[in-house]
């Protein structure tokens, strides 16, 4: 496995975890928005492993500084817009552009894109992030149509809120309650639950799934906008809900 991140130390620490679990892995520090970096990373991957079976396009620019500048359209910092598109969308395009030719040599491959509910539903801020993620619903359709007959599958995972445990602490509990109320599952998601869907798409168990988006969001995007208010209304009035 090749662990790719702009943060070389973060990539190395994931590699250390993988190695301690008995897997072979290398870290390659890469800015996925840079064509030079991505080309070199794919060359290094092919030189080391001889093939590429799975490409998981998971990188996104989500720093606090980026989020504070990627705002509603009237207050949008255009540098933040450019960075969101460059990393989240151009990065995924570049990795696909250079990984797919290596996959084609063996006539098989699975390409997975990490998208978000924010790429499908309007929200108050993160305009650049949302538009970059919306495009990642289209990209797997293009890849599947262009290379499906040559053995390449491509899909997106539309992720709801699946914060790591340490991210919970940085979010106000009132906010977490609002989000939890809007899930159709008892709890918010976890990175592990998202990883399980990615593992399915990476594996041959999903060999007939291509050109689509799997929504893994605990039903956050599946219900009527009034559901939470209606649930509270029925609870207050002592009447049975639907």
Ligand X SMILES: NC(=O)c1ccc[n+]([C@@H]2O[C@H](COP(=O)([O-])OP(=O)(O)OC[C@H]3O[C@@H](n4cnc5c(N)ncnc54)[C@H](O)[C@@H]3O)[C@@H](O)[C@H]2O)c1
159 binds ligand X (CB under 6 A): yes
What is the per-residue burial (b if ≥16 Cβ within 10 Å, else e) of 19-48? eeeeeebbbbbbbbbbeebbeebbeebbee
And the tokens for 213?
A: 């988006």
Where in the chain does DSSP place strands (E)? 2-5, 26-29, 54-57, 109-116, 152-159, 212-216
**Does the annotation count 147 as an active-site position?**
no
Residue with Cβ nearer ligand X (13 or 108): 13
Binding mask 161-200 for ligand X (x = CB under 6 A): xxx-------------------------------------
Q: Does 89 interact with ligand X (rule: CB under 6 A)?
A: no
d(CA 137, CA 134): 6
Binding residue count for ligand X, defined by CB under 6 A: 21
In the complex with ligand X, the residue whose CB is nearer, 114 or 233, is 114
Q: Which stretch binds ligand X (CB under 6 A): 2-10, 147-155, 178-186, 206-214?
A: 2-10
CA distance 171 to 169: 6
- DSSP H or E segment with residue 81: helix 78-84
From residue 30 to residue 69, what is the string marking binding to ligand X with x (rule CB under 6 A)?
A: xxxx------------------------xxxxx-------
In terms of residues, how long is the chain?
242
Q: Is 213 in the site for ligand X (CB under 6 A)?
A: no
Q: Which stretch binds ligand X (CB under 6 A): 93-101, 145-153, 157-165, 199-207?
A: 157-165
Q: How far is the CB of 240 from ligand X (least distance, A)?
A: 34
What span, in angstroms and rounded, lies between the C-alpha atoms of 110 and 155?
8
Rounded to whole angstroms, the Cα distance separating 30 from 59 reads 10
Interface ranges with ligand X (CB under 6 A): 5-7, 10, 30-33, 58-62, 87, 91, 114, 116, 159, 161-163
């Amino acid at each position: 496995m090749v662990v790719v991140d702009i943060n070389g130390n973060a990539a190395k620490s994931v590699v250390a975890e993988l190695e301690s679990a008995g897997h072979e892995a290398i870290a390659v520090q890469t800015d996925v928005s840079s064509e030079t970096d991505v080309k070199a990373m794919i060359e290094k991957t092919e030189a080391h492993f001889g093939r590429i079976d799975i490409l998981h396009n998971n990188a996104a620019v989500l720093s606090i500084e980026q989020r504070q500048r990627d705002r509603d359209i009237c207050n949008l910092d255009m540098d933040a817009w450019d960075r969101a598109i460059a990393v989240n969308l151009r990065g995924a395009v570049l990795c696909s552009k250079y990984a797919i030719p290596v996959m084609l040599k063996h006539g098989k491959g699975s390409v997975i894109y990490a998208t978000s509910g924010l790429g499908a539903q309007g929200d108050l801020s993160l305009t650049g992030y949302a538009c970059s993620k919306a495009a990642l619903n289209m990209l797997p359709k293009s890849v599947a149509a262009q290379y499906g007959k040559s053995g390449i599958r491509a899909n997106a995972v539309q992720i709801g809120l699946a914060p790591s445990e340490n991210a919970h602490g940085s979010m106000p509990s009132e906010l977490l309650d609002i989000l939890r109320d809007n899930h159709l599952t008892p709890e918010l998601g976890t990175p592990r639950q998202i990883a399980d869907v990615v593992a399915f798409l990476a594996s041959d168990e999903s060999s007939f799934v291509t050109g689509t988006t799997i929504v893994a969001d605990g039903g956050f995007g599946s219900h009527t906008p009034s559901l939470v208010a209606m649930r509270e209304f029925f609870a207050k009035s002592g009447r049975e809900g639907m």
